[in-house]
Amino acid sequence: MRDTKLRGTALVAILLMVAVACGDGASGDGGGDEGPWTIGVSNTLVGNGWREQMICAIKAEASASGVIDEVVVVNRNGGPTEQIADLESLISQGVDAIILNPTDREALNSVIEEAIDQGIVVVAVDQAVTAEGAYVVTNDQVAYGRLGAEWLFEQMGGTGNVAYMRGIDGVPADTDRDTGFQEALADFPDINVVSEVFTGWDPSTGASQALELITTQQIDGIWTSGIDYTVVDQFAAADVPYVPIVGADNNGFIAQLIELEGDGLVGAAVTNPPAIGGVGASVAISALQGENPDQEVILTPQVFDSSEQGDLEGLYDADQQVGWSTYVNIDPYTSYEAADVATCQGPGE
């Protein structure tokens, strides 16, 4: 048994030498101090604009750093079972760091710890994992819910009817945002939540729900979980005056906050940046360079409201789609230009 294993190893070693001789420069040294290094990315939701931008931010940061020679992306729809397989395949490919958007807080821990044991830097972005030794970079979703709600309730003068348009029931980000929303609500006793709906984070669902809300009820303010620009569209469609609205830093919403200011639109964009991928890459690179970055980075959302038109114009990007997340540069982590994220090219691509 041991003998065959040895022979197998020898065979593999020979094959490996051949592969290297052929110029197949897969780096497998598992994290020295010099670089260049390879970063592996594991994502399990394909075709989602936010996730795609997250991956592009990782590639952009890797390119900008100059010490990464390849970004290997494993991207397919799936749950923890698929992600475990993907992580093991990245380990097998000999990447030096893995950035993942985890499907589960705990189910991936053993494979993450295995990677760390093999000297691989592991960074979980967007959602946390509990594995020991993993770096975690997240957006503070509780603050996201609270900051937007506080702005809205103050804007409404602390009284009136609010429509509460949430994301997907049971998803951690939605639950956390609800916690923050309820915290803010507790401080404003005269605010009534007259309607609570789940948009499923789907722009067209949100639009039809909003149209029904504003045409059938007296609404004084709308809080959305990032489904914003299609909701704003409904006011013009129904010929109803605008009410204060909270959304995310989507390009389409930012454009509306600028263009429709004269028509009476008042709103606030709360950031939920997919650029967190870039932050994750930056943390991974620091760790590879032996700089011992913080084990946990929690990004507090920024609030940009329509009274600060200059800031909004700084965020707006005329070249991008409506769903493009405008808050791209996160100090002090990212070092790329917004255009690098848009072109979405990793090193050597």
Partner 1 sequence: MTAVVRRRALNLRRHGWSIGVWLLLAVLIGWYVLLIPRFGSFQIASIIKNSLPLVYLAIGQAVIVITGGIDLGAGAMLVLANSASATLMQDQPFLVTILIGFGIILGAAALNGFVGWIINVSRVPDIVVTLATSFIYSGLALMILPGPGGGTSAGFRILFTGSDDGTGTSFGFSLGMLLVPVVIAAFFMRRSRTGLSLYATGSDLNAAYLSGVDIRRAKVIGYAFGGAMAGLAGLATVAITGSGDPRFSIGANATLNSVAAIVLGGVALTGGIGSVVGAVAAAIIVFFLSPILSAMGIDPNTAQVVQGSLIVVVMMIAGLLALRRRRAK
Residues that bind partner 1 (CB under 8 A): 5, 8-9, 12, 15-16, 18-19, 24, 26-28, 46, 70, 72-82, 84-86, 88-94, 103-111, 113-114, 170
CA distances from 9 to 17, 27, 41, 335 (A): 12, 18, 28, 42
Question: 231, exposed or middle or buried, with CB in 10 Å at 0-12, 13-18, 19+?
Answer: buried
The three-class DSSP label of residue 152 is: helix
For Cα atoms 274, 46, 41, give the angle at the middle one, nearest 5 degrees. 60
Whole-angstrom distance, CA of residue 162 vs CA of residue 222: 6
Number of C-beta neighbours around residue 107 at 10 A: 15
29-52: buried (b, 16+ CB within 10 Å) or exposed (e) per residue? eebeeebbbbbbbbbbeeeeebbb
For Cα atoms 63, 35, 127, give the angle at the middle one, nearest 5 degrees. 60
**If residue 247 lies in a helix (H) or strand (E), which one and from where to where?**
strand 245-248
**CB–CB of 323/252 below 8 Å?**
yes
Q: Which residues pair with 138 in a beta bridge?
A: 298
Q: Which is nearer to partner 1, 1 or 186 (CB)?
A: 1
From the CB of 9, what's the least distance to partner 1, in Å?
A: 7
From the CB of 319, what's the least distance to partner 1, in Å?
A: 22
Q: Which is nearer to partner 1, 70 or 249 (CB)?
A: 70
From the CB of 145, what's the least distance to partner 1, in Å?
A: 18
Q: Which is nearer to partner 1, 89 or 179 (CB)?
A: 89
Q: Which is nearer to partner 1, 5 or 189 (CB)?
A: 5
Whole-angstrom distance, CA of residue 237 vs CA of residue 239: 6
Q: Which is nearer to partner 1, 47 or 310 (CB)?
A: 47
The three-class DSSP label of residue 82 is: helix
From the CB of 100, what's the least distance to partner 1, in Å?
A: 14
3: its two tokens: 């003998």
From the CB of 1, what's the least distance to partner 1, in Å?
A: 11
Whole-angstrom distance, CA of residue 139 vs CA of residue 127: 8
From the CB of 253, what's the least distance to partner 1, in Å?
A: 27
Q: Which is nearer to partner 1, 86 or 178 (CB)?
A: 86
From the CB of 89, what's the least distance to partner 1, in Å?
A: 4
111: its two tokens: 């494979």
From the CB of 68, what's the least distance to partner 1, in Å?
A: 14
Q: Which is nearer to partner 1, 109 or 289 (CB)?
A: 109
Q: Which is nearer to partner 1, 169 or 296 (CB)?
A: 169
**CB–CB of 72/95 below 8 Å?**
yes
Q: Which is nearer to partner 1, 45 or 266 (CB)?
A: 45
From the CB of 239, what's the least distance to partner 1, in Å?
A: 38
Whole-angstrom distance, CA of residue 131 vs CA of residue 114: 10
